[in-house]
Protein backbone atom coordinates (compact mmCIF):
# COMPACT_ATOMS: atom_id res chain seq x y z
CA UNK A 1 0.00 0.00 0.00
CA UNK A 2 1.49 3.35 -0.96
CA UNK A 3 1.65 6.18 1.55
CA UNK A 4 -0.25 9.46 1.38
CA UNK A 5 0.77 13.09 1.65
CA UNK A 6 3.21 14.03 4.40
CA UNK A 7 1.30 14.27 7.72
CA UNK A 8 1.47 17.27 10.03
CA UNK A 9 3.02 16.92 13.49
CA UNK A 10 1.37 19.03 16.18
CA UNK A 11 2.95 19.29 19.67
CA UNK A 12 0.47 19.94 22.47
CA UNK A 13 0.50 20.78 26.19
CA UNK A 14 -2.58 19.53 28.06
CA UNK A 15 -3.25 21.11 31.47
CA UNK A 16 -3.10 18.47 34.20
CA UNK A 17 -3.42 19.58 37.81
CA UNK A 18 -0.67 22.11 38.50
CA UNK A 19 1.31 21.00 35.46
CA UNK A 20 0.81 19.61 31.98
CA UNK A 21 0.98 16.50 29.85
CA UNK A 22 3.08 16.70 26.72
CA UNK A 23 1.48 15.15 23.64
CA UNK A 24 2.09 15.01 19.91
CA UNK A 25 -0.65 14.62 17.31
CA UNK A 26 0.27 13.15 13.92
CA UNK A 27 -2.44 14.60 11.68
CA UNK A 28 -3.38 12.95 8.41
CA UNK A 29 -3.24 14.83 5.13
CA UNK A 30 -5.74 12.39 3.60
CA UNK A 31 -9.25 11.11 4.52
CA UNK A 32 -9.29 9.98 8.15
CA UNK A 33 -9.74 6.23 8.67
CA UNK A 34 -9.19 6.00 12.45
CA UNK A 35 -7.65 7.67 15.48
CA UNK A 36 -5.10 5.90 17.66
CA UNK A 37 -3.91 6.82 21.13
CA UNK A 38 -0.43 5.36 21.60
CA UNK A 39 0.32 4.57 25.27
CA UNK A 40 4.11 4.38 25.63
CA UNK A 41 6.29 1.97 27.61
CA UNK A 42 8.23 3.01 30.72
CA UNK A 43 11.72 3.92 31.86
CA UNK A 44 14.54 2.82 29.53
CA UNK A 45 11.99 1.14 27.21
CA UNK A 46 10.42 4.55 26.55
CA UNK A 47 13.77 6.14 25.70
CA UNK A 48 14.89 3.08 23.75
CA UNK A 49 11.81 3.03 21.51
CA UNK A 50 10.93 6.72 21.28
CA UNK A 51 12.24 7.32 17.78
CA UNK A 52 10.80 4.06 16.49
CA UNK A 53 7.24 4.81 17.61
CA UNK A 54 7.48 8.42 16.38
CA UNK A 55 8.37 7.08 12.93
CA UNK A 56 5.70 4.39 13.16
CA UNK A 57 3.10 7.05 14.01
CA UNK A 58 4.15 9.04 10.97
CA UNK A 59 3.83 5.91 8.81
CA UNK A 60 0.32 5.23 10.12
CA UNK A 61 -0.68 8.87 9.58
CA UNK A 62 0.40 8.55 5.94
CA UNK A 63 -2.20 5.80 5.66
CA UNK A 64 -5.09 7.75 7.13
CA UNK A 65 -4.67 6.89 10.82
CA UNK A 66 -4.25 9.89 13.10
CA UNK A 67 -1.94 9.04 16.00
CA UNK A 68 -1.66 10.80 19.35
CA UNK A 69 1.48 10.10 21.41
CA UNK A 70 2.08 11.44 24.91
CA UNK A 71 4.29 11.21 28.00
CA UNK A 72 2.91 10.14 31.38
CA UNK A 73 3.13 12.57 34.30
CA UNK A 74 6.61 12.32 35.76
CA UNK A 75 8.13 11.09 32.50
CA UNK A 76 9.43 12.49 29.22
CA UNK A 77 8.42 16.11 28.62
CA UNK A 78 5.36 16.05 30.88
CA UNK A 79 5.43 17.79 34.25
CA UNK A 80 6.89 16.19 37.35
CA UNK A 81 9.91 14.12 38.30
CA UNK A 82 10.16 10.34 38.14
CA UNK A 83 9.33 10.34 41.88
CA UNK A 84 5.91 11.71 40.91
CA UNK A 85 5.18 8.85 38.53
CA UNK A 86 2.48 6.38 39.68
CA UNK A 87 0.64 3.58 37.91
CA UNK A 88 -2.77 4.98 38.96
CA UNK A 89 -1.64 8.36 37.63
CA UNK A 90 -0.59 6.80 34.31
CA UNK A 91 -4.05 5.24 33.94
CA UNK A 92 -5.65 8.63 34.70
CA UNK A 93 -3.34 10.26 32.15
CA UNK A 94 -4.56 7.85 29.47
CA UNK A 95 -8.18 8.72 30.27
CA UNK A 96 -7.34 12.44 30.25
CA UNK A 97 -5.58 12.39 26.87
CA UNK A 98 -8.30 10.15 25.42
CA UNK A 99 -11.09 12.50 26.47
CA UNK A 100 -9.20 15.60 25.32
CA UNK A 101 -7.71 14.46 22.01
CA UNK A 102 -9.65 11.43 20.74
CA UNK A 103 -13.11 12.82 19.95
CA UNK A 104 -16.13 10.80 18.91
CA UNK A 105 -16.68 11.15 15.17
CA UNK A 106 -19.11 9.07 13.16
CA UNK A 107 -17.35 6.54 10.95
CA UNK A 108 -13.95 7.07 12.61
CA UNK A 109 -12.99 4.18 14.96
CA UNK A 110 -11.17 5.10 18.15
CA UNK A 111 -8.26 2.74 18.85
CA UNK A 112 -6.02 2.45 21.88
CA UNK A 113 -2.54 1.02 21.26
CA UNK A 114 -0.50 0.08 24.31
CA UNK A 115 3.21 -0.72 24.22
CA UNK A 116 4.66 -3.05 26.90
CA UNK A 117 3.54 -1.63 30.31
CA UNK A 118 1.53 0.94 28.39
CA UNK A 119 -0.70 -1.98 27.37
CA UNK A 120 -1.32 -2.92 30.99
CA UNK A 121 -2.19 0.68 31.88
CA UNK A 122 -4.46 0.96 28.82
CA UNK A 123 -6.20 -2.32 29.66
CA UNK A 124 -7.01 -0.98 33.13
CA UNK A 125 -8.24 2.28 31.59
CA UNK A 126 -10.62 0.24 29.41
CA UNK A 127 -11.72 -1.84 32.42
CA UNK A 128 -12.44 1.48 34.15
CA UNK A 129 -14.73 2.68 31.38
CA UNK A 130 -12.60 4.05 28.52
CA UNK A 131 -14.74 3.36 25.45
CA UNK A 132 -12.30 2.28 22.73
CA UNK A 133 -13.65 0.62 19.59
CA UNK A 134 -10.48 -1.45 19.18
CA UNK A 135 -7.27 -2.23 21.06
CA UNK A 136 -3.85 -3.00 19.62
CA UNK A 137 -1.43 -4.55 22.14
CA UNK A 138 2.25 -4.17 21.13
CA UNK A 139 4.43 -6.72 22.97
CA UNK A 140 2.29 -6.19 26.08
CA UNK A 141 3.38 -6.74 29.66
CA UNK A 142 0.59 -8.86 31.15
CA UNK A 143 1.99 -8.93 34.68
CA UNK A 144 3.49 -5.97 36.50
CA UNK A 145 5.36 -8.32 38.84
CA UNK A 146 7.00 -10.21 35.96
CA UNK A 147 7.95 -6.91 34.29
CA UNK A 148 9.52 -5.49 37.48
CA UNK A 149 11.35 -8.78 38.17
CA UNK A 150 12.87 -8.77 34.67
CA UNK A 151 14.04 -5.16 35.04
CA UNK A 152 15.51 -5.79 38.48
CA UNK A 153 17.48 -8.69 37.00
CA UNK A 154 18.82 -6.49 34.19
CA UNK A 155 19.60 -3.71 36.66
CA UNK A 156 21.57 -6.08 38.93
CA UNK A 157 23.44 -7.56 35.96
CA UNK A 158 24.52 -4.14 34.73
CA UNK A 159 25.67 -3.02 38.18
CA UNK A 160 27.89 -6.12 38.38
CA UNK A 161 29.17 -5.86 34.81
CA UNK A 162 33.01 -5.72 34.63
CA UNK A 163 32.80 -4.15 31.19
CA UNK A 164 30.66 -1.32 32.57
CA UNK A 165 32.67 -0.95 35.79
CA UNK A 166 36.19 -2.28 34.98
CA UNK A 167 38.03 -0.45 37.79
CA UNK A 168 35.60 -0.63 40.68
CA UNK A 169 32.48 -2.31 41.95
CA UNK A 170 29.30 -0.92 40.48
CA UNK A 171 27.05 1.24 42.69
CA UNK A 172 24.31 -0.36 44.74
CA UNK A 173 20.75 0.51 43.78
CA UNK A 174 19.02 2.92 46.14
CA UNK A 175 15.58 2.09 47.46
CA UNK A 176 13.12 2.90 44.69
CA UNK A 177 15.79 3.05 41.99
CA UNK A 178 15.12 0.93 38.90
CA UNK A 179 17.15 0.96 35.70
CA UNK A 180 18.73 4.21 36.87
CA UNK A 181 15.35 5.92 37.37
CA UNK A 182 14.50 7.27 40.83
CA UNK A 183 10.97 6.06 41.57
CA UNK A 184 8.87 6.20 44.70
CA UNK A 185 9.24 2.73 46.32
CA UNK A 186 5.44 2.60 46.61
CA UNK A 187 5.23 3.00 42.84
CA UNK A 188 7.28 -0.15 42.31
CA UNK A 189 4.99 -2.03 44.69
CA UNK A 190 1.94 -0.74 42.83
CA UNK A 191 3.43 -1.79 39.49
CA UNK A 192 4.01 -5.28 40.88
CA UNK A 193 0.34 -5.62 41.79
CA UNK A 194 -0.96 -4.82 38.31
CA UNK A 195 -2.39 -7.82 36.48
CA UNK A 196 -4.20 -8.07 33.15
CA UNK A 197 -7.93 -7.40 33.71
CA UNK A 198 -10.88 -9.09 32.05
CA UNK A 199 -11.77 -7.16 28.89
CA UNK A 200 -14.37 -7.41 26.16
CA UNK A 201 -13.74 -5.54 22.92
CA UNK A 202 -15.01 -6.39 19.43
CA UNK A 203 -11.58 -6.09 17.82
CA UNK A 204 -8.33 -6.74 19.67
CA UNK A 205 -4.96 -7.36 18.03
CA UNK A 206 -1.87 -8.74 19.76
CA UNK A 207 1.48 -7.89 18.20
CA UNK A 208 4.28 -10.18 19.36
CA UNK A 209 7.30 -11.88 17.89
CA UNK A 210 7.81 -15.16 19.75
CA UNK A 211 4.31 -16.56 20.33
CA UNK A 212 4.73 -16.62 24.12
CA UNK A 213 1.71 -14.42 24.86
CA UNK A 214 -0.81 -15.98 22.52
CA UNK A 215 -1.91 -18.65 25.02
CA UNK A 216 -2.54 -15.90 27.61
CA UNK A 217 -4.79 -13.90 25.26
CA UNK A 218 -6.72 -16.52 23.31
CA UNK A 219 -9.51 -14.20 22.16
CA UNK A 220 -7.31 -11.84 20.19
CA UNK A 221 -6.13 -11.72 16.60
CA UNK A 222 -2.37 -12.37 16.64
CA UNK A 223 -0.13 -10.39 14.29
CA UNK A 224 3.39 -11.73 14.28
CA UNK A 225 6.25 -9.25 14.50
CA UNK A 226 9.67 -10.00 13.07
CA UNK A 227 12.01 -11.77 15.53
CA UNK A 228 14.17 -8.65 15.24
CA UNK A 229 11.78 -7.08 17.79
CA UNK A 230 12.65 -9.62 20.50
CA UNK A 231 15.64 -7.82 21.97
CA UNK A 232 14.84 -4.12 22.31
CA UNK A 233 13.02 -4.16 25.69
CA UNK A 234 15.99 -5.87 27.33
CA UNK A 235 18.73 -3.62 25.92
CA UNK A 236 20.10 -0.96 28.24
CA UNK A 237 22.36 0.60 25.62
CA UNK A 238 21.42 1.51 22.06
CA UNK A 239 22.99 -1.60 20.60
CA UNK A 240 21.02 -1.27 17.38
CA UNK A 241 18.27 0.95 16.02
CA UNK A 242 14.86 -0.73 16.19
CA UNK A 243 14.15 -1.65 12.55
CA UNK A 244 11.21 0.52 11.50
CA UNK A 245 10.86 -1.03 8.05
CA UNK A 246 10.55 -4.49 9.57
CA UNK A 247 7.29 -3.32 11.15
CA UNK A 248 5.72 -2.68 7.72
CA UNK A 249 4.14 -6.16 7.41
CA UNK A 250 2.57 -5.81 10.86
CA UNK A 251 1.27 -2.35 9.95
CA UNK A 252 -0.25 -3.71 6.75
CA UNK A 253 -2.02 -6.42 8.77
CA UNK A 254 -3.38 -3.79 11.15
CA UNK A 255 -4.61 -1.71 8.22
CA UNK A 256 -6.36 -4.81 6.84
CA UNK A 257 -7.96 -5.60 10.22
CA UNK A 258 -9.14 -2.01 10.44
CA UNK A 259 -10.65 -2.23 6.97
CA UNK A 260 -12.42 -5.50 7.81
CA UNK A 261 -13.80 -4.09 11.05
CA UNK A 262 -15.23 -0.98 9.41
CA UNK A 263 -16.87 -2.50 6.32
List pLDDT tens digits, range 13-49: 999 888 999 999 999 978 899 999 999 999 999 999 9
List pLDDT tens digits, range 161-184: 888 898 888 888 889 999 989 999
Task: Please name the residue ranges forming H helices in 11-131.
Answer: 43-62, 87-101, 117-127
Provide the pLDDT for residue 216.
Answer: 73
Q: Rounded to an integer, what distance in angstroms lies between the CA atom of residue 120 and that of residue 158?
A: 26
List pLDDT tens digits, range 115-173: 999 999 999 999 999 999 999 999 999 999 999 999 999 999 988 888 889 888 888 88
In the chain, the domains with their CATH numbers are: 8-143+201-261 (3.40.50.1820)
Provide the pLDDT for residue 2.
Answer: 44
List pLDDT tens digits, range 188-244: 999 999 999 988 877 789 999 877 787 777 657 899 999 889 889 988 877 767 778
Q: What is the dihedral of CA 127, 128, 129, 130, to 10 degrees?
A: -80
- 8 Å CB contact between 223 and 247: no
pLDDT at 4 over 70: no
pTM of the model: 0.94
Q: Rounded to an integer, what distance in angstroms lies between the CA atom of residue 27 and that of residue 36?
A: 11
144-159 and 117-127 helices, crossing angle to 10°:
160
Q: Rounded to an integer, what distance in angstroms lies between the CA atom of residue 71 and that of residue 79?
A: 9
Amino acid sequence: MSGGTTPQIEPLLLPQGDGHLFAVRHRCAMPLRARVLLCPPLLHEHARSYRFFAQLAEHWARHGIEVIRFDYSGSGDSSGSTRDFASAGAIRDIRHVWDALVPVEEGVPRIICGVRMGSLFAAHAIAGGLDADMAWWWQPALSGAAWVDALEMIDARERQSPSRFPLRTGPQARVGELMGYDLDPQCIGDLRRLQWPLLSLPTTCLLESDGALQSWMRAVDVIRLSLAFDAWPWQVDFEAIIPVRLADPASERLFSRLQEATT
